[in-house]
Structure formats: C-alpha cells, structure tokens
Amino acid sequence: DTAVSQTPKYLVTQMGNDKSIKCEQNLGHDTMYWYKQDSKKFLKIMFSYNNKELIINETVPNRFSPKSPDKAHLNLHINSLELGDSAVYFCASSHDRATQYFGPGTRLTVL
C-alpha cells in the first residue's frame, strides 16, 4: 500500500488555468505539507497543515491555497497558473515534527 500518494503524476496545462493536485496519506499522521522543487532542484516548503493550524511560507503567492477535507488529505489548488509555476510539487506527511514521508511528486508544466 502506498503511504503518501499524489494525483496526477503529470499535469500539463495552459497559462491562466486553475488546477488542483491531490494528496492522500494512509499513515495516520497529523501534519501534512506541500513542497515545491524549484529550478535549482531545491526543496522549498510551501505549506504546513495540521488540524490546529495552517502555516504558510510567506514567499508563496496567494494564488496557491491548500484545502484539507479531512486529516488524510491535503490538496493544493493553484489559480491563474503562470509559466513560473512549472515545477515538481511534493506532498509529505508526518506525526508532528518527526520523520516526513514524501509522495512521488507531481510534475506540473504550464504552457
């Protein structure tokens, strides 16, 4: 069974569109995250979310928003996609600040 899953694996879309990436974890973790792997291959935290609070990296544009329908899911919504949003996005989960378990990544290409 996959511990942290993301869909879709690849997403190709036009500039200006709105899209979502889904993330699910079956580990019973209380905290989930979204990361962006930038053009230099660095992993940058975008959001950290548990049932108590959402922590947002202040550098993330407000076109990006996380939505959590329940503890096992944290979806990433992106409005008005721009060329610079093209990247690989990773979801992860953990129990509090312990080891993080990463999903397989979603490669987003904005044309």
Q: By CB under 8 A, which span of 21-29, 49-57, 64-72, 76-84 interacts with other proteins?
A: 49-57
Q: Which tokens go with 30? A: 């209380």
Q: Is residue 66 part of the contact set for other proteins (CB under 8 A)?
A: no
**Among residues 81, 66, 74, which one has the least CA distance to residue 29?**
74
DSSP SS3 for 56: strand
Are the beta carbons of 5 and 104 closer than 8 angstroms? yes
Counting residues that bind other proteins (by CB under 8 A) gives 24
Q: Whole-number minimum distance, CB 85 to other proteins, in Å?
A: 20
Q: Is residue 100 part of the contact set for other proteins (CB under 8 A)?
A: yes
- Give the Cα separation of 23 and 34 in Å (integer): 9
Residues lying near other proteins in the complex (CB under 8 A) are found at: 4, 31, 33, 40-45, 48, 50, 55, 57, 90, 96-105
